[in-house]
């Protein structure tokens, strides 16, 4: 979404600038009708770009299917990610707890409930979207 928005803004600015410098013979001001036409064309092109980039994701939403892969939990770890605390909070340090699973040498962030439910060697079910291969969820088998 942000890429197509960036393309829309930059293409509109560049298109209007090129038109005004090269083709507009009226030096008194901006041709609003042509600038609006350029903006509409670039809006359509950026919407098509967005659909093209996200077509696999939209296909997964349309069919509501998932692929389940069973893997073994190799290890799990818990760590604290420290960050600056607000001066008004009265705390000297603030942190977030991060829970991680290692499966096939890949780290996955999980929630606290799943972390506490599983132990090393347990079988996990990974739910993936078939077209985009997006990880939907991890659950204990």
Chain segment 25-63, per-residue pLDDT in tens: 777 778 888 899 999 999 999 999 999 988 888 888 788
**Phi and psi, residue 31, nearest 5°:** -80, 100
Q: In residues, how long is the chain?
A: 141
Please give the helix or strand (H or E) that residue 23 lies within, else none: none
Q: What top-level class would CATH report for the domain 67-140?
A: mainly beta
pTM value is: 0.61
The backbone region for 104, taken as left when phi is positive above 0, alpha when psi lies in -120 to 50, beta otherwise, is left
Q: Which residues of the chain have pLDDT under 50?
A: none
């Amino acid at each position: 979404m942000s890429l197509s928005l960036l393309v829309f803004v930059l293409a509109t600015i560049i298109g209007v600038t090129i038109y005004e410098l090269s083709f507009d013979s009226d030096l008194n001001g901006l041709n609003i009708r042509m600038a609006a036409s350029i903006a509409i064309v670039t809006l359509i092109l950026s919407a098509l770009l967005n659909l093209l980039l996200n077509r696999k994701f939209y296909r997964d939403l349309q069919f509501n299917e998932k692929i389940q892969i069973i893997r073994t939990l190799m290890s799990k770890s818990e760590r604290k990610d420290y960050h600056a605390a607000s001066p008004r909070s009265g705390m000297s340090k603030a942190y977030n707890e991060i829970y991680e699973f290692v499966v096939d040498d890949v780290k996955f962030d999980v929630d606290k409930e799943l972390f506490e439910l599983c132990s090393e060697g347990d079988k996990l079910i990974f739910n993936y979207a078939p077209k985009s291969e997006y990880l939907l969820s991890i659950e204990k088998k």
